[in-house]
Amino acid sequence: MSGKLQTVHVRINDRATGQPTPCRVRFTGPDGTYYAPFGRLTDFAVAWGQDVGGNLWLHDDQKYAYIDGSCEIQLPPGSIQIGIGKGFEYLPINQQIALRPGQLSIRLALERWHNARNSGWYSGDIHVEYLAPNGALLEAAAEDVAVVNLLARTTFVANPDCHPLPAIPNILSFSGQQPALEMPGHLVVVNTLNWHPKLGRLILLNCHRVVYPLHFGSPHGADDWSLSDWCDQCHRKRGLVISDGCSGLAELLVGKVDALEATREWGGWGVLLGKYHAILGLGYRLPLVAGSGKRSNQQVVGRFRTYAQLLNDQDLTYANWIEAVRAGRTFISNGPLVYLTVNGEGPGSIVELENPRKTVHIHAEAHSVFPIKELIVMASGGVKETVVVEGDPARALLDFEMSVERSGWVRAGCYGSNQTAETSPVYIQVRDQPAPPPEAEDLRFLFDELDEMVGWVRTEARCETDQQRDRLVGIFLAAKEELRKRAAGIK
C-alpha cells in the first residue's frame, strides 16, 4: 500500500482573504483509513496529559490533524474523503474528491458564515490544560478562538518506584497579564488552576504573579489554606477569580468570586442553572463563563467557550477581554451564537427604572450552523418568550415588550439536543422595588451545601491547630450569615 502513496501539498484558504487559514483536517480513504499530514500521527495518545496537541480524536472515532493552513501528506490515488472544521463561525467542509495519479496539490476554501467580531464579540476558552503554548496557539487559531487561558496546575504522575510524584505542567510559561504567545487575532495566556480535593478549585486569571500554593491538602499536606485566601491574593494581584460552579459557594456569597464557570460537560447543568438563578435572586451580579477543560487529544479547544464583548473603540488585548468578562458582557456556547439586549443594553448592563409597571424592550437573536430547536428569553420568575429556530444556518428572533414590576434580571438561551448557548444577565433595577427572594427550596439547597462543608471541616479536615480549624469553619459560617441576610432582604 505504501508504494502507491503520493505526496500531495494541501492548502486551505479563507475564502474572504485568499490566504491560508489554520484549521483541523481529516483525510480518509474509501476503506476508512486515516491519513495524517507530515508531522502528525495516525495513532496517538489520548490519555490526560499525554503528548497533547496537534492531533484530535473525537468520540465518534474521527481523527483530525491541526495545521496552519497548509501541509504535505501522502495519499493513495482514488477516492479521498476530506473533512475540515474551524470553530463555530465557519461552514465545515465535508466532501469527496477523486485524487488523480500524480496529482501534486489540493486547494480548498473555508467560508465564514457569521462574524461575531464585527460586533465586538471575541471568543475565549477559560480552561485549557497540558497543551504547550505553541500548540495552544495553533489550535486556538484553527478553532477560531481569540483567547486561550492555559492553566498551570499541580497534578500527580505515576512513578513505578514510589507514590505518584507532583508535576506542574506549564508553570515555567506563566505569563499572567500578558500573552505568552500571540498572532493576529489570537493569543495564549498562562495562568493557574488552584485546587483542593474537598474544598474545590478556582481558576485565577490575569494575576501579575503566580498565586501559591497551587494545591493543598491530601495526599501529602494539611488543610491549612482556603479558597478565600486564594481569592484575596488573586484580587491583590489584580486578577479575576472564577468558580467552577461546583465549589467556592462560600467565597461567592461573601463577594470574592468574579464569574461562574458553567458548562454542560461537567454534568448536572440543570442543577447548576437552578443554583445560578437562586444566586441571581439574592441580588448577586455574576457573569457566566465557559471553557473546554481540554486535557487530552480527545477534547477540542473552545468546545465550550466564552464570548466577551469589547467596547466599541477597543482592540483585542488580554486586559480588554478580561475586563469585558469582569463586567459581565458575556455569553457561553458550544456552537450557537445568542445575543440579547434590554432597552438596547447588553449582558452585564443595569437598566434602571423609576417606577414599577414600566415596560422594557427585549431583543434576542440566535444563529447557528449546528442543529438547535428553540430560543428562549428568561426573566426573574420564569420563561417569558420562546420561538422555534429554523433555517440552515439556523436563525431565530424574539422582539417584544415586557412589563416589569420589581428588580430582577433577563437572560436568553438557545438549545438543541447537544447544543447550548446562554447569556449572562441584563439586570433591571426598579427604584424601591427589590427582587423577590428565591424559593425556600432553592435557599435550602445553598444552606445544605454550606452545612456539609462545615461538617467536613469540624470532623475530617486535617488541621494542625484548633485555631486553624476555627478559621476554616469561620469562612462557611460567614457565608451562611450573608445568605440569611440576603434571603431576608438585608443587603
Q: How far apart are CA 86 and CA 113, in angstroms?
A: 11
Within this chain, do residues 119 and 102 fall inside the same structural domain, yes or no?
no
Q: Mean pLDDT across the stretch 421-432?
A: 95
**Residue pair 351/343 in contact by the 8 Å Cβ criterion:** yes
Over 90: is that where the pLDDT of 403 sits? Answer: yes
**Residue pair 230/204 in contact by the 8 Å Cβ criterion:** yes
* Percent of the chain surpassing pLDDT 90: 85
Q: Which residue has the cell 473555508?
A: 110
Within this chain, do residues 342 and 373 fall inside the same structural domain, yes or no?
yes
Please tell me the predicted confidence (pLDDT) of residue 441: 84
Q: Please, what is the average pLDDT of the chain?
A: 93
Which of 436, 453, 470 terminates a domain? The answer is 436
pLDDT level of residue 440 (50, 70, 90 thresholds): confident
Please tell me the predicted confidence (pLDDT) of residue 2: 44
**φ/ψ bin of 255: left (φ > 0), alpha (ψ from -120 to 50), beta (otherwise):** left
Q: Which residues have C-beta within 8 Å of that of residue 3, sequence separation ≥ 6?
A: none
CA dihedral (150, 207, 247, 271) positive or negative: negative
Q: Mean pLDDT across the stretch 65-69?
A: 98
Q: Residue 117 — φ and ψ, nearest 5°? A: -65, -25
DSSP secondary structure of 279-307:
HHHTT----EE----B-STTS-TTSSEEE
Q: Mean pLDDT across the stretch 22-48?
A: 96
Which amino acid would we find at residue 273? Answer: L
Q: Which residue has the cell 448536572?
A: 268
Within this chain, do residues 432 and 445 fall inside the same structural domain, yes or no?
no
Residue-wise pLDDT tens digits, 14-27: 999 999 999 999 99
Within this chain, do residues 310 and 185 fall inside the same structural domain, yes or no?
yes
**Residue-number span of the structural domain to which 414 is assigned:** 335-436
Nearest to 428 by CA among 377, 326, 486, 356: 356
Please tell me the predicted confidence (pLDDT) of residue 357: 87
Within this chain, do residues 232 and 90 fall inside the same structural domain, yes or no?
no
Please tell me the predicted confidence (pLDDT) of residue 269: 56
**Residue pair 261/287 in contact by the 8 Å Cβ criterion:** no
**Residue pair 69/142 in contact by the 8 Å Cβ criterion:** no
Output the domain CATH number for residue 183. Answer: 3.20.20.140
Q: How far apart are CA 268 and CA 83, in angstroms?
A: 32
Of the candidate ranges 54-68, 251-265, 391-405, the one whose mean pLDDT is the lowest? 251-265
Within this chain, do residues 275 and 292 fall inside the same structural domain, yes or no?
yes
Over 80: is that where the pLDDT of 287 sits? Answer: yes
Output the domain CATH number for residue 402. Answer: 2.60.40.10
Which amino acid would we find at residue 294? Answer: K
CA dihedral (225, 228, 231, 235) positive or negative: negative
Q: Which residue has the cell 466532501?
A: 95
Within this chain, do residues 122 and 98 fall inside the same structural domain, yes or no?
no
Q: Which residues of 17-43 are buried (b: 16+ CB within 10 A; e: fewer)?
A: eeebbbbbbbbbbeeeebbbbeebeee
Q: How far apart are CA 153 and CA 191, in angstroms?
A: 9
pLDDT level of residue 264 (50, 70, 90 thresholds): low
Mutual angle of helices 440-459 and 269-281, in 10-degree steps:
100
Q: Domains in the chain: how many in total?
A: 4
Q: Which residue has the cell 510524584?
A: 165
Distance of CA 141 to the CA centre of its chain: 16
Pairing of strands 186-196, 147-152: parallel
Q: How far apart are CA 106 and CA 74, in angstroms?
A: 12
pLDDT level of residue 491 (50, 70, 90 thresholds): low
C-alpha cell at 142: 484553527
Residue-wise pLDDT tens digits, 330-371: 999 999 999 999 999 999 999 999 999 899 999 999 999 999
Q: Which residues have C-beta within 8 Å of that of residue 260, sequence separation ≥ 6?
A: 242, 243, 245, 252, 276, 279, 286, 287, 288, 289
Q: How far apart are CA 66 and CA 8, in angstroms?
A: 17
Q: What secondary structure letter does DSSP report for 4? A: G
C-alpha cell at 280: 441571581
Q: How far apart are CA 256 and CA 258, in angstroms?
A: 7
Of the candidate ranges 50-64, 178-192, 314-328, the one whose mean pLDDT is the lowest? 50-64
Q: Which residue has the cell 414599577?
A: 356
Nearest to 96 by CA among 27, 163, 37: 27
Please tell me the predicted confidence (pLDDT) of residue 64: 98
Over 80: is that where the pLDDT of 39 sits? Answer: yes
pLDDT level of residue 165 (50, 70, 90 thresholds): confident
Q: How far apart are CA 93 and CA 13, in angstroms?
A: 12
Please tell me the predicted confidence (pLDDT) of residue 270: 57
Over 70: is that where the pLDDT of 271 sits? Answer: no
Q: Which residues have C-beta within 8 Å of that of residue 200, sequence separation ≥ 6?
A: 227, 243, 244, 246, 247, 248
pLDDT level of residue 306 (50, 70, 90 thresholds): very high
Q: Which residues have C-beta within 8 Å of that of residue 384, sequence separation ≥ 6?
A: 362, 377, 378, 400, 402, 410
Within this chain, do residues 294 and 431 fall inside the same structural domain, yes or no?
no
Q: Mean pLDDT across the stretch 93-101?
A: 97
Over 60: is that where the pLDDT of 265 sits? Answer: no
Residue-wise pLDDT tens digits, 69-80: 999 999 999 999
**Residue pair 460/472 in contact by the 8 Å Cβ criterion:** no
Q: Mean pLDDT across the stretch 292-317?
A: 96
Over 70: is that where the pLDDT of 146 sits? Answer: yes
pLDDT level of residue 201 (50, 70, 90 thresholds): very high
The larger pLDDT score, comparing residue 266 to residue 127, is at 127
Q: What is the largest CA-CA distance in the chain?
A: 81
Q: Mean pLDDT across the stretch 369-389?
A: 92
Q: Mean pLDDT across the stretch 320-328?
A: 98
pLDDT level of residue 157 (50, 70, 90 thresholds): confident
Within this chain, do residues 341 and 364 fall inside the same structural domain, yes or no?
yes
Q: How far apart are CA 11 and CA 70, in angstroms?
A: 4
Which of 333, 360, 375 terminates a domain? The answer is 333
Please tell me the predicted confidence (pLDDT) of residue 490: 63
Which amino acid would we find at residue 482? Answer: E
Task: Note the residue count of the chain.
Answer: 491
Within this chain, do residues 180 and 311 fall inside the same structural domain, yes or no?
yes
3-state secondary structure of 322: helix
The Cα-based distances of 483 to 289, 434, 449 in angstroms read: 23, 16, 12
Within this chain, do residues 191 and 329 fall inside the same structural domain, yes or no?
yes
Over 60: is that where the pLDDT of 224 sits? Answer: yes
Which of 54, 79, 112 terminates a domain? The answer is 112
Q: Residue 122 — φ and ψ, nearest 5°? A: -120, 130
Within this chain, do residues 311 and 420 fall inside the same structural domain, yes or no?
no
